[in-house]
A and B are shown apart, each in its own frame.
With several copies, the nearest count.
Chain A
Amino acid sequence: MFHKIADRFGIGIAIVALFIFLSVSSPHFLDIANLLNILLQVSISTIIAVGMTFVILTSGIDLSVGPLTAFSSVIIGLTLHLDIGIGIPILSGILVGALLGFMNGILIAKLKIPAFIATLGMMSVARGAALFITNGQTIHMFPSEFRFISAGNLMSIPIPVIYAFVVVMIAIFILNYTKFGRHIYAIGGNKEAARLSGINVKSVETWAYIICGITCGIGAVILTGRLNAAQPIAGIGYELDAIAAVIIGGTSLNGGEGSIGGTLMGAILIGMLRNGLNLLNVSPFLQQIVIGAVIVSAVFFDQYRRSKKDSSAAKGLNRPSQAVGATKPYQ
């Protein structure tokens, strides 16, 4: 069973190894409270990494997730202060994320601007806009209902963790069980073949960016609640975290191959690492060194294991038979 999971998401082994190591070396690591902490701390980055997975699967990239989150957060903050309840602010934050994602999509799918440049530009524009409309000031203090719904606890489970779980589930579902999801993979695998098979490449691509924007909006809701503040400078470095989670999870930057499950593992690996280093009170300078080294080694062992597996399987003599139907778990 475990073997199977590790097989599907190679990085699983690294996570388990790290988990065991941290359990042994820190007495606090295994506390339920701490494990929930880890999940809470990775909830935002997981959600955004899910959106990023859609984008990267189409062989794109989104550098603007940090500023998108900040901008959404600022919008949420401003509308919350209008005293119109919490529904509209939450909705408008998510919609604003979707809108900016849509703009990314148009630039990339329709105007054919390389995703790197388009989203780099958006990164700069959205950040500037967030600073501009707030005049650089953080917006503070929100109603407690909002704080509860975005970052409270439900029977001692942090609500952001629940959101992350739901987002992950929906994403897995979309990617594996809908037409749209299949089209995402097809486009990333071979854009021209997808186009000639009657897939509306532009629209699917645009939607990938919209989805990424929506995840930023959801991330912004949680962030705003967690901080009880909307900061125009929030989300610095989110793009690297999200992309790293996606790639550690085995999704290829070339698109077409990868899974949400992998991304989740990637995000958890990073979060667990940061948490563990805090718990072990590793010096901040060394922490950076360790984080870098662990990420690289985790991916290295994953690669290594896969290449081993390939070559050992090859020794088996099975020649292609005409027989069809050996049902294998999808993907």
Chain B
Amino acid sequence: MDHEVILRMQDINKAFPGVQALDHINFELRKGEVHCLLGENGAGKSTLIKIMSGAHQKDSGTVLLYGKEVDIKNAHISRDLGISTIYQEMSLIPGMSVAENIFLGEEIVKSPFYIVDKEKMEKQAEEIFREMNIDINPKRLVKEMSTAQQQMVEIARSLVKKRQIIIMDEPTSSISDKDTHELFRIIHKLKSQGVAIIYISHRLQELSEIVDRITVMRDGQDIGTVNMKDVTIDQLITMMVGRTLEKMDKPVRDHIGEVLLEVKNISWGNVVQNASFILRKGEILGFAGLVGAGRSELMRLLFGAEKMDAGRILLQGAQVEIHSPIQAIGHGIGYLSEDRKRDGLVLSMGIDQNITMANLPRVCNGFFLSRKKEQLEAKNSVQALNVATNSIHKLVKFLSGGNQQKVIIGKWLLTDCQILIFDEPTRGIDVGARAEIYKLMNGLAQLGKSIIMVSSDLPEIIRVSNRVIVMNQGRISGEFENDGTITQEGIMPLMLGGVGNVS
């Protein structure tokens, strides 16, 4: 590998209202390397790459491309300089087709009148997908596709034209292991062609497969750049969080009580078929499965967010009707949705108001809201959950992902729900925050609350759950007691469609 530096960023500063997002950052990118940006939520990773992609303007500092200073005023210029970007926040147009999205801003046109050549775009899109080894119809509308497929479209976008630099901001946070595998194959291929890749991820395990060098960021500063092969994951974590994380406790089992919830034969179209399971008091029940297995839908049905076609729900042996979230909450069920910005938060409201949203009566004096009570509750939550903020009134849209997730957790903790459903609670969350969330779930379980955790991260499921249910194509395909013997290899086949020891 030659060490020619393509991109050099020197002394970059960037401030947002109330936050110095980048604080004298230095960064260099070499030809043909995969360079990982690592850091806790809110460390400034996305901000840094957005300066390269023209989405943000730096306040000061210099950007050198092949030794020449460049001024990346907008996304167009960035692309013309040979940089393409996959953003962390999905940036597709829902009402347009896959092919149109892939070529957005650089459409292929033909004579006469320079009309958009849809056929050619669709054909080229198809080729890209073939190369990526995935099956997506370029004519489909993006809004009709699952999050995972949309993410693959995002990735395809960056491969349309040959670029010298490709930036990937958490490309794997919502795609399946198979697709991740394909992505890595493509990254290796691009690398061999001399393309430099900036890669951001919170999944530390996957880094060793592709990454050459790592730059760690903390609080908007760069802590240092290291070679992947010279460090261990633990060392990286220490660099990121500035301290060593305590080891995660094994799930405790001695406080698990009687059966609290019974779900019987829930069906909904062919997305969820005849699903039955039980949940015990004080238990953490993990739901494993591939992306699109129907776990989220099952949970939404249980929560009344969707109306089931068939099925029954029993709480402590008595049948209950749940047709709406209001009823679910009334029965002590809370749901932390997988897409926190879409379904979880009111971005234009403050932390305090989001936290109290699902249980306002708790902060009311009779008919009236009590600001005092509200602030007290919010302050307690923020302290208990260790949310990084300088004010409980801060609008949640200005929080980083991990802290947003904590706010949602705080919201549900305030409702005193006996059953809490966490859907992908750690998606896009850094290791430190992750550990905190695990600790929290454990604590809740020990207090006698029952938790269902849906996660696409198998190691996480195995580490955290007392019991694991596996879903495949809308059906429950297996169930394991987590007595310390289950392994990824044991669960995998059931996720892919095998039949397991349904107890």
The answer on direct contact between A and B (beta carbons under 8 Å) is yes
Contact A197 B20 (CB under 8 A): no
Q: Is B269 an interface residue (CB 8 A)?
A: yes
- A198-B326, A314-B270, A324-B90 as given contacts; A193 in contact with B397, CB under 8 Å: no
Q: Is A194 an interface residue (CB 8 A)?
A: yes
Cα distance, A330 to B19, chains bound together (Å): 13
A-B contacts, 15 of them at CB < 8 A, read: A177-B113, A178-B113, A178-B367, A179-B116, A181-B369, A186-B353, A186-B357, A190-B347, A193-B104, A315-B15, A315-B59, A315-B309, A318-B18, A324-B92, A330-B16
Cα distance, A322 to B114, chains bound together (Å): 32
Residues of A within 8 Å of B78, CB to CB, are: 198
Nearest CB in chain B: distance from A104 CB, A: 23
Q: Is B171 an interface residue (CB 8 A)?
A: no
Cα distance, A331 to B325, chains bound together (Å): 27
Cβ < 8 Å to B, chain A residues 162-192: 173, 176-179, 181-183, 185-186, 189-190, 192
Cα distance, A173 to B361, chains bound together (Å): 17
Q: Is A278 an interface residue (CB 8 A)?
A: no
Closest 6 CB pairs between A and B? A315-B269, A189-B346, A193-B91, A197-B105, A198-B76, A189-B93
- A182-B357, A331-B347 as given contacts; A325 in contact with B18, CB under 8 Å: no
Contact A323 B17 (CB under 8 A): no
Residues of B within 8 Å of A317, CB to CB, are: 15, 20, 144
In chain A, what residue has the closest Cβ to B364? A179
Nearest CB in chain A: distance from B398 CB, A: 7
Cα distance, A313 to B393, chains bound together (Å): 17
Cα distance, A181 to B93, chains bound together (Å): 14
Contact B105 A185 (CB under 8 A): no
Contact B93 A324 (CB under 8 A): yes
| Max count, chain A CB within 10 A of own CB: residue among B142, B219, B386 | B142
- A182-B96, A315-B268, A320-B42 as given contacts; A198 in contact with B74, CB under 8 Å: yes
Contact B369 A177 (CB under 8 A): yes
Contact A179 B347 (CB under 8 A): no
Nearest CB in chain A: distance from B195 CB, A: 19
Contact B94 A256 (CB under 8 A): yes
Partner of A196, one of B96, B100, B335, B375: B335
Contact A194 B219 (CB under 8 A): no
Residues of A within 8 Å of B342, CB to CB, are: 190, 192-193, 322-323, 326-327
Contact A314 B390 (CB under 8 A): no
Q: Is A316 an interface residue (CB 8 A)?
A: yes
Partner of B347, one of A182, A192, A319, A328: A328
Contact B347 A189 (CB under 8 A): yes
Contact A186 B346 (CB under 8 A): yes
Residues of B within 8 Å of A327, CB to CB, are: 89-90, 339, 341-342, 375
Residues of A within 8 Å of B389, CB to CB, are: 320, 324
Cα distance, A257 to B94, chains bound together (Å): 9
Per-position binary interface string of chain B over residues 334-361, scored 1 when its CB falls under 8 Å from any chain A CB and 0 otherwise:
0101010111111111100100111011
Q: Is A283 an interface residue (CB 8 A)?
A: no
Cα distance, A322 to B383, chains bound together (Å): 9
Residues of A within 8 Å of B100, CB to CB, are: 182
Cα distance, A325 to B143, chains bound together (Å): 10
Nearest CB in chain B: distance from A129 CB, A: 35
Cα distance, A319 to B305, chains bound together (Å): 11
Contact A197 B357 (CB under 8 A): yes
Per-position binary interface string of chain A over residues 294-331, scored 1 when its CB falls under 8 Å from any chain B CB and 0 otherwise:
00000000000000001001111111111111111111
Contact B360 A324 (CB under 8 A): no
- A182-B100, A189-B96, A190-B346 as given contacts; A197 in contact with B325, CB under 8 Å: yes
In chain B, what residue has the closest Cβ to A190? B346
Residues of A within 8 Å of B382, CB to CB, are: 324
Contact A324 B348 (CB under 8 A): no
Per-position binary interface string of chain B over residues 436-462, scored 1 when its CB falls under 8 Å from any chain A CB and 0 otherwise:
000000000000000000000000000
Task: Name the interface size band of chain B.
Answer: 35 or more
In chain A, what residue has the closest Cβ to B94? A324
Cα distance, A9 to B315, chains bound together (Å): 46
Contact A330 B75 (CB under 8 A): no
Residues of B within 8 Å of A137, CB to CB, are: none
Partner of B379, one of A199, A321, A325: A325
Q: Is B147 an interface residue (CB 8 A)?
A: yes
Partner of B305, one of A190, A195, A328: A195
Cβ < 8 Å to A, chain B residues 28-83: 42, 53-55, 59, 74-76, 78-79
- A178-B114, A197-B104, A326-B390 as given contacts; A319 in contact with B361, CB under 8 Å: no
Contact B305 A321 (CB under 8 A): no
Q: Is B329 an interface residue (CB 8 A)?
A: yes
Cα distance, A324 to B382, chains bound together (Å): 8
Partner of A185, one of B75, B95, B306, B368: B95
Residues of B within 8 Å of A313, CB to CB, are: 17-18
Q: Is B377 an interface residue (CB 8 A)?
A: no
In chain B, what residue has the closest Cβ to A331? B397
Contact B90 A256 (CB under 8 A): no
Per-position binary interface string of chain A over residues 94-133, scored 1 when its CB falls under 8 Å from any chain B CB and 0 otherwise:
0000000000000000000000000000000000000000
- A179-B361, A193-B93, A325-B92 as given contacts; A320 in contact with B19, CB under 8 Å: yes
Contact A326 B95 (CB under 8 A): no
Q: Is A23 an interface residue (CB 8 A)?
A: no
Q: Is B181 an interface residue (CB 8 A)?
A: no
Partner of B93, one of A179, A190, A198, A326: A190
Per-position binary interface string of chain B over residues 309-343, scored 1 when its CB falls under 8 Å from any chain A CB and 0 otherwise:
10000000000000001101110000101010111
Cα distance, A314 to B146, chains bound together (Å): 13
Supplied contacts A193-B92, A196-B325, A325-B391, 12 more A-B pairs, CB within 8 Å? A182-B107, A185-B349, A189-B96, A192-B343, A193-B104, A194-B104, A313-B18, A314-B271, A317-B15, A318-B18, A322-B388, A323-B339
